Chains A and B, each alone.
Chain A
């Protein structure tokens, strides 16, 4: 077993654990050759201090080193490095791969470390050669995540906790009414719907648009409610729907891709929507960063500290209704956060407002 050369400052608060390439094995050093030049340049452009760069494959001493030096921020560079330390993000289906297009930049926790840390997945450097446009995202968002966390750690002496939420899921009628009444006086609220669609077995699969099933509102970055459109008595539903209608008529609504999706369903159900009150984070992203993706998945990575979660909203059934409500509530608070962060950007780039 050949021992490859690590590099950098072993006492650094930032470690990068890399997949090895054939070139690395030939050169006897991790992240060697042209990859080394590109990576160092990106670290410099991200204004990060010198990290420690090592590898995981056949590196029996790695865990000992990690538990000796306790780096709070650990970047896993490559799919396999990520899978090695955060196996929970690997796909449950063959080939059990890690999808870095979803996970890169997320704040994850490894079950292999018993000290406070975040693991942040990164693409291998060779991704940049084939898709140079990703370089800016790599530097400003992925490495930018590390930089932000490091800054907090150095100022506060500890890692910044992940966002905490206060979700009201499948609420009682009374709790729901209270929450919605509380929304009436807000400057803005975030709103999202989830639909239920025919399964693959159905003849209506891919042709029926589905029915709205779950609705959520957030009135801050952390507080949200999610409930089913249909789960209450008719008398209660009349009151709930009327209250929702009043909200749509009078309180500015934050949504994601709202004009292309949610608005149509709500109008079809008979709500008197007021499009002039809608703030669509998708449109805002289009003005601020037309070149970048505008999906909520990407905006979550760009503007929030919420780790990737969008897979939780796929392939669900009514048996997992409460999980789906949690996913819906998360969408609402994330949208709220994205909106406020975008607002900060508009305040700096006022000519785009």
Chain B
């Protein structure tokens, strides 16, 4: 069994992922068809609204407005020509923002007018024009439709190809199968109602159940180790709230709100204001970890629909830095020194990357930002890779999906099978990671059970008792949701 990254490890991993790629994810066609109808309906309604408001026919791909309106048609997804969104927005008098763009040929950076997502979010932020909001929604829906809902299936199965050498960090990449089926399997939409509806279409095959495991606060662990932040490592290991809720503690600090102003559940979602602050704290922590600066943070938040000017972002990032000074003082300094000495970074699991392009007497922000994220991302990605390899060697490779820090397995629907995979996955992720500074960590895991990827029940803790309890809940839920079939069985 491998304990470090190298060619033979990636070669063995390729074999394991070949099996995963061949297995695919089973799909509930009825749910998918219903979702497809709904999405097309919503897109068409929005196109009708836009066509009316703009007095021009608007369409996206093959979906057109139902109204008969004359005039230059606008293609929401077109980037050039008379029907392009950009040209039509300008024609209608919109002041289209200019976005930073790198020329692929000359590699020069320019600011150009654009109708991409970032530009539209800025435009919406500036004008509050509901039509722009509609365009963003159409694009979101159309992307879901084109990428996932309308992906070709083969025998009711969604396929992809995992590429073990697909990224520089060592994370796997995934894409549409070479025979045209499926699409990326690692970026299923998550944090939206439609995303959840789509995930509900991805189901366990008859007689099977899905057991998903993911690394808890995955990248926070290596970041804290690299920053020699023992306090953070204690928090990550803590079992009780609020000690183990780093994001709430950070939110409390940067927004100057006492933790006990809200309950645990309010911070985690029941109270919109508290939950939003917690969400922002998480985002700003992540940004600070990887050296993101104000403008980029502002752009990132704008892309998610939140208007935060650069100055506000800079101020919040400063506060995060004050809260966790070790990130810059120790973690970033270490990375800068390594790059200065050898232009190479090495992870605890032995993966190496050389960083070309470091320009002397230049801040090298872009390269450094990539470098800061390299060890944490690679470490987590390889931790998952080693786990997959362990399961494959252990004859437990019933994996149907891998999501960088998580693995979803499809196993026989019985407590015996679940207990077997439970133990196997515990061992698969039981790995000590030793950093250059001597700090050792083990990233804990948490698990979920379900019959589809949208609706799952989380185990309270990673123990056999919790597994049995959760399985019982799932079974009770299954019976409750199918009372007629149960009666018929009884009669039989």
The answer to whether A and B assemble together is yes
| B7–A290 CB distance below 8 A | no
B417-461 vs A, CB cutoff 8 Å, 1 = contact: the mask equals: 000000000000000000000000000000000000000000000
A275 near B180 with CB under 8 A, answer: no
The residue from A259, A294, A351 contacting B14, defined by CB atoms under 8 A apart: A259
Closest chain B residue, CB of each to CB of A274: B15
Contact across chains for A353 and B8 when beta carbons are under 8 A apart? yes
Judge whether B352 is part of the interface by a CB distance below 8 angstroms.
Answer: yes
Contact A283 B7 (CB under 8 A): yes
Measured between alpha carbons, how far is A148 from B164 in the docked complex, in Å? 33
Are A130 and B178 in contact (CB-based, < 8 A)?
no
- The yes or no answer to A346 lying at the interface (CB within 8 A) is yes
1/0 per position for B343-375, CB-CB distance to A under 8 A?
000000010111111110000000000000000
Residues of B within 8 A of A268 (CB): 179
Interface residues of B in 150-166 (CB under 8 A from A): 161, 163-165
- The reply to whether B168 and A259 contact each other, CB–CB distance below 8 Å, is no
Q: Is B168 a contact partner of A291 (Cβ separation < 8 A)?
A: yes
Q: Produce 1/0 per residue, B1-32, CB < 8 A to A.
A: 00011111011101101100000000000000
Tell me if B106 counts as interface (CB < 8 A to partner A): yes
Complex interface: chain A residues within 8 A of B193 (CB): none
B7-A353 in contact (CB<8A): yes
Smallest beta-carbon distance B62→chain A, Å: 15
- Within A287-331, which residues are at the interface with B (CB < 8 Å)? 287-291, 294
Chain B residues contacting A286 (CB-CB under 8 Å) are 10, 164-165
Q: CB distance B15 to A287 under 8 Å?
A: no
Q: How far is the CA of A136 from the CA of B18 in the complex (A)?
A: 34
Contact of A283 among B11, B168, B356 (CB under 8 A): B11
Measured CA separation A135–B367 after assembly (Å): 15
Q: How far is the CB of B410 from chain A (nearest CB, A)?
A: 21
Interface size on A, residues (CB 8 A): 37
Contact yes or no, A291 B7, CB < 8 A: no
Whole-angstrom distance between the Cβ of A210 and the nearest chain B Cβ: 10
Docked pose: A223 CA to B17 CA in angstroms: 32
How far, in angstroms, from A264 to B154 measured CA to CA in the complex?
Answer: 15
Taking the nearest CB of chain A, how far is it from the CB of B110, in angstroms? Answer: 12
Q: B371 → chain A, closest Cβ, in Å? A: 11
CB nearest to B178 among chain A residues: A264
**Given contacts A351-B350, A352-B352, A283 and B14 within 8 Å (CB-CB):** yes
- A289 and B11: CB pair below 8 A? no
Query: Which B residues touch A130, using CB under 8 A?
Result: 106-108
- Complex CA gap A283/B6 in Å reads 10
Q: List 5 A-B contacts (CB under 8 A).
A: A259-B18, A280-B11, A283-B11, A352-B7, A352-B352
Interface of B toward A, CB cutoff 8 Å:
4-8, 10-12, 14-15, 17-18, 106-108, 161, 163-165, 168, 170, 177-180, 350, 352-359
Nearest 7 CB-CB pairings of A with B: A133-B357, A286-B165, A130-B107, A275-B15, A133-B356, A136-B356, A131-B107
